[in-house]
């Protein structure tokens, strides 16, 4: 399925369509952009034709100095059957040679009033967001004290009920049941909800509820960076759970890793409070305050000084 087409950037940035309307639905497969200065000088050995081509003041002022035959040839070489678009910046005049070549190859020629550098940055950010690797995870995503917490676990373990309690305590729901995740950078995972179930929670016995309708617009958000995973599992009395918090378990999603905490579930445990404390403790650790590590160091110091008999 195509993620981005030329039409998407045409509509997103309110560009002016000069010619090549037949190719307006061409796919864009990379977020890299090209400013074909060296190509206009005649060197096309490594021409990245699959990229969007940006022509600014530098490129067009050089092009004006070319001879008539060279001008036609350069524009014909720029316009290929895989070039998604050629964009003229600063509202500059479009060369006739470009219009003729683009019409023959159905390459959309667009124009913007923005400066080349500014427009290039905005377009790159948009394309990187839309073309980022994506996946979907079964779980619930909640914003707890500014920490994007992905709650996972087997079906029926209480993920949605815990999320509902967190919303009641003033936190914000991002997604329930299915969390769509895109990796915008090496260690940046952004979670969103599928449009069909946005703002909805499924509670067994109640059915589907609309969180925004019940609790207001402040109880939901459209996306959140995921930095902590709370994995809920039914309490297993034969399993040894981490009691100090020194173990650093990780969950890998696409090519990024986030901190994972396994929380056992049994009657009487207030999971919402536990997740709140986990989020606050995670923030403290990122600020350099690690209670478990401090306790371990104090314990080691006491043992070195006086041995176990000092307790």
Residues designated catalytic: 138, 159, 177, 243
**Pick from 90, 88, 126: nearest CA to 110:** 88
Q: How far apart are CA 278 and CA 288, in angstroms?
A: 15
307 is in an annotated binding site: no
Q: In angstroms, what CA-CA distances link 88 with 21, 62, 64, 91, 99?
A: 15, 14, 14, 7, 12
Please tell me whether 154 is known to bind a ligand: yes
Q: What angle do CA 119, 41, 32 make, to 5 degrees?
A: 35
Compute the distance between CA of residue 170 and CA of residue 139 in angstroms, rounded to an integer: 20
Residue 153 is assigned to a ligand binding site: yes
- Please tell me whether 156 is known to bind a ligand: yes
CA count, 13 A, side-chain hemisphere, 214: 13
Q: Is 157 known as a binding-site position? A: yes
Cβ atoms 6, 84 nearer than 8 A: yes
Q: Is 202 annotated as a binding residue?
A: yes
Instruction: Establish whether 155 is an annotated binding residue.
Output: yes
Residues in binding site:
153-160, 202
Residues in binding site for Mg(2+):
160, 202
Residues in binding site for ATP:
153-160
């Amino acid at each position: 399925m195509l993620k981005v087409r030329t039409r998407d950037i045409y509509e997103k940035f309110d560009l002016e369509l000069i010619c090549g309307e037949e190719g307006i639905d061409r796919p864009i497969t990379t977020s890299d952009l090209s400013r074909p200065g060296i190509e206009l000088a005649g060197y096309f050995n490594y021409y990245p034709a699959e990229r969007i081509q940006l022509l600014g003041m530098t490129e067009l002022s050089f092009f004006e100095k070319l001879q008539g035959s060279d001008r036609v040839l350069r524009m014909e070489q720029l316009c290929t059957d895989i070039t998604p678009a050629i964009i003229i910046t600063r509202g500059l005049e479009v060369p006739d040679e470009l219009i003729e070549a683009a019409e023959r190859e159905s390459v959309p020629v667009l124009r913007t009033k923005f400066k080349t550098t500014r427009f290039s940055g905005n377009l790159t950010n948009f394309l990187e967001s839309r073309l980022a690797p994506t996946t979907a995870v079964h779980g619930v995503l909640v914003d707890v004290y500014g920490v994007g917490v992905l709650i996972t676990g087997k079906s029926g373990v209480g993920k949605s009920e815990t999320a509902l309690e967190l919303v009641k305590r003033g936190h914000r729901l991002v997604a329930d049941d299915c969390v769509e995740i895109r990796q915008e950078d090496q260690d940046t995972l952004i979670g969103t909800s599928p449009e069909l179930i946005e703002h909805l929670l499924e509670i067994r016995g109640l059915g589907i509820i609309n969180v925004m309708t019940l609790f207001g617009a402040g109880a939901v958000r459209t996306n959140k960076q995921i930095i902590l995973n709370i994995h809920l599992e039914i309490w297993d009395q034969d399993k040894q759970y981490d009691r100090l918090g020194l173990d650093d378990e990780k969950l890998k999603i696409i090519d990024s890793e986030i901190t994972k905490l396994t929380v056992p579930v049994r009657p009487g445990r207030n999971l919402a409070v536990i997740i709140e404390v986990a989020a606050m403790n995670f923030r403290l650790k990122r600020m350099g305050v690690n209670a478990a590590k401090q306790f371990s160091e104090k314990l080691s110091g006491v043992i070195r000084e006086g041995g176990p008999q000092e307790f």
